Amino acid sequence: MSAFIGNFEESNRLRERARDLIPGGAHTYAKGDDQYPILSPGFIARGQGCHVWDVDGNEYIEYGMGNRAVGLGHAYAPVLDAVRKELEYGCNFTRPASIEVECAETFLEMVRGADMVKFSKNGSDATSGAIKLARAVTGREMIARCSDHPFFSVDDWFIGTTEMNTGIPEAIRQLTLGFKYNDIESLRSLFRLHPGKIAAVILEATRGEHPKDRFLHKAMELCRSNGALFILDEMITGFRWHSGGAQELYNIEPDLSCFGKALGNGFSVSALAGKREFMERGGLEQTAHPRVFLLSTTHGAETHALAAAIATMRIYRDEPVIEHLYRQGEALQVGIGQAITRHGLQDHFYLTGQPCCLAFATLDRNLKPSQAFRTLFLQETIRRGILAPSLVVSYTHGDEDIERTVEAFDGALGVYKLALERGVGHYLVGRPSDLVFRRFNRPPLPADEVLVANNG
């Protein structure tokens, strides 16, 4: 791996083509150019374990891991073997494939608080399916979602609450309410203000800090006493906090829960799971209630993706994956923490979250969160062969990878300290990155800034 990386010629060529052909230049906002420095790889060519290579041949130790979807490692052999075998039989038929039953059985053995499961392709399918089901069960329209948790769905019920709500009717936007994590009174007040109107409460079990004073259990009790459904979004926590999900770790059984991301080690599969009394509303057997059009997707049960999910779940069941994630995350915490202290940056840069799913905070000289300093830090870690929008470890992050990451962070923090003293503009090439949820875009970079960036 090169000590310093700066050639992005092919990435920059593809960037121009992508912007002309694809709105935003990517199919996922979190992967867009506005989320990364000018000096960064625009396109990844391949991955192996926790290493990736961009289209210019630069190699990185990667920590985004497909927006947390790749828990075992890129091109993980046992998963690929299962996928290859299944592909030989075809991937989509007129009637269900037997692997759909096998995958459901495997999933429900892992997620023990659920009775039934339905698979789809992405997290938004699952969470929006849960919302629709909750509304059907309760006959209510309003949804309470945790405002501290940044993303639940691409659908209107959630996006209408963000800055990017253009195109979403006001009537829909008014149906979703917000409450604070670990603040049970903020949720209780919503039930008081909207008696008999809230269909469901949806939140992640945690974004990093553990629930305090039985917060999750109290939230569920509030739902039960007010006739609402309690929904856990386990897209990130599932198969990362615990092989049975955060619900197993925190000993709570939600009415409905939603899984994805690490469920298939990067293959496209998600799951809506829950109690039989609710899930069967989308089935064929119940006759007491109107039918719910729950989840029905042409590609929702593609056999190769389900094969990937089965192989992935069995690895989590049989091997110490979760223990490895925590151990390597803790090693990062210690090593990077020591580097932060050496540079005297404790007030300006720190790690957040649990060891299995770390992130970092970047503050300016006024101790305010700073996109400019975040972008500078990403720029400098990328130069040192680390691609880390967060610090999401995988089963293939070895001790040497951790050591090299700590060394790269140490070097980047040295530049960070200089930028605090002299100004970030002396070190950052081009514009800072942006928040995904913003009302307007910034004007394009001036030509001279683009030229500087393209010349490395």
Domains of the chain (ranges, CATH numbers): 9-69+320-454 (3.90.1150.10), 77-318 (3.40.640.10)
d(CA 233, CA 206): 9
Q: Above 50 in pLDDT, residue 61?
A: yes
The pLDDT value given to residue 452: 42
Closest by CA to 55, choosing from 74, 41, 40, 71, is: 41
Q: DSSP letter for 62, please.
A: E
Residue 220 burial class via C-beta count within 10 angstroms: exposed 0-12, middle 13-18, buried 19 and up? buried
Rounded mean pLDDT of 68-75?
96
What confidence tier does 450 reach under pLDDT thresholds 50, 70, 90?
A: very low
Strand bridging mode 349-352 / 359-362 = antiparallel
What confidence tier does 437 reach under pLDDT thresholds 50, 70, 90?
A: low
Closest by CA to 251, choosing from 259, 260, 241, 261, is: 241
Tens digits of per-residue pLDDT, 330-346?
Answer: 999 999 999 999 999 99
d(CA 272, CA 266): 17
Cα distance between the two ends of the chain = 18
- pTM of the shown model: 0.92
Q: 143 forms bridges with which residues in the sheet? A: 176, 200
Rounded mean pLDDT of 186-190?
98
Tens digits of per-residue pLDDT, 287-318?
Answer: 999 999 999 998 999 999 999 999 999 999 99
Q: CB-based contacts of 415: which residues, under 8 Å, 6+ apart?
A: 376, 380, 427
Q: Above 60 in pLDDT, residue 20?
A: yes
Dihedral Cα 340, 35, 394, 250, nearest 10 deg: 80
Strand bridging mode 229-233 / 198-204 = parallel
